[in-house]
Amino acid sequence: MSSLTGYEIALGLGAVAVLAAANLVANHVVRRPYQRIFYSLFVVLVAGTLVAALELKRLAATGAFAVGALDFAPAASALALSGGFVFLAFSLWSESSEQWQRLPQLLAALFAPSLAEALVFVGIVFSLTQYLLTPALGHIAAVSAAVLVTSASFGVYHFTHAAPWNSWHTIRILFVVWLFVGLFYALTGNLWATAILNTLLATIGFVRNRVTRPEEQPLAASLLFDLAGIVAVVALVLR
């Protein structure tokens, strides 16, 4: 039997709901020119990073989340980088030079959101699912279920996005993509490497999508949000 109480499980699910609610407001309530800054500050940093990190700290105290998942793992990170870049190059081989030139700023703009997604859907959803199901199903079946639940949750979360990211077609694609993200985490057990892989996979979607252009955010601001996300996780979870 899991030692987590219903209240503690509700807190974990509440952290996921906070991210979804903030994203819904950012995409369907807040209007330009405030939308981008609201998304970066309140969706990514507050809901996706600060709230998630505090929840992971609490889950770590119960044993539901392994803090070791936030250790620096050179091998896992190298695997994420090499595999992600190979897939990125293969997927974008026929794209124009203009689209390739977007990559550096896209990578900078997408790391903080990708880290937030990894914290919420891998750190919280995956860990909770695995922890709760392992006593009944055993390790392998619980991990398999965690991969499926994580992928499905990430797809459903995109209903809170604006078009074209909230279409059934896109959500089906994201479900499949996140099966690989969840499997990668199951095999490596490292959140940083999973966030790196998620960033590279997300970049493919944004290069192919000509409507949403996160790289229009100033590079300095993107790098600042990336640093803030990393510092917040280290300060709130690892100390």
Q: What is the predicted pLDDT for the residue at 93?
A: 86
Copy the structure tokens of residue 167.
Answer: 């279409």
Percentage of residues of the chain with pLDDT beyond 70? 99
Q: What is the predicted pLDDT for the residue at 163?
A: 87
Q: What is the predicted pLDDT for the residue at 1?
A: 43
CB-CB neighbours of 3 under 10 Å: 9
3-class DSSP string for the chain: CCCCCHHHHHHHHHHHHHHHHHHHHHHHCCCCCCHHHHHHHHHHHHHHHHHHHHHHHHHHHHCCCCHHHHCCCHHHHHHHHHHHHHHHHHHCCCCCHHHHHCHHHHHHHHHHHHHHHHHHHHHHHHHHHHHHHHHHHCHHHHHHHHHHHHHHHHHHHHHHCCCCCCCHHHHHHHHHHHHHHHHHHHHHCCHHHHHHHHHHHHHHHHHHCCCCCHHHCCHHHHHHHHHHHHHHHHHHHCC
Q: What is the predicted pLDDT for the residue at 98?
A: 81
Q: How many residues does the chain have?
A: 239
Cα 99 to Cα 135: distance, rounded to the nearest angstrom: 48
pTM score? 0.95
Question: pLDDT tens-digit profile of 13-63?
Answer: 999 999 999 999 999 999 888 889 999 999 999 999 999 999 999 999 999
C-alpha pair distances (Å), 209 with each of 28, 89, 95, 160, 204: 20, 16, 12, 18, 9
Query: Which residue is it, tokens 């490292």?
Result: 190
Q: What is the predicted pLDDT for the residue at 114?
A: 97
Q: What mean pLDDT is predicted for residues 144-162?
A: 97
Contact 141, 133 (CB under 8 A): yes
Q: What mean pLDDT is predicted for residues 124-138?
A: 96
Q: What mean pLDDT is predicted for residues 140-147?
A: 97
pLDDT band at 96 (very low <50, low <70, confident <90, very high): confident
Q: What is the predicted pLDDT for the residue at 187?
A: 96
Contact 84, 196 (CB under 8 A): yes
Lowest mean pLDDT across 10-14, 97-101, 228-232:
97-101
Question: pLDDT tens-digit profile of 97-129?
Answer: 888 888 999 999 999 999 999 999 999 999 999
Percentage of residues of the chain with pLDDT beyond 90? 78
Averaged pLDDT score across all residues of the chain:
93
Q: What is the predicted pLDDT for the residue at 235?
A: 95
Domain spans in the chain, listed from the N-terminal domain onward: 6-237
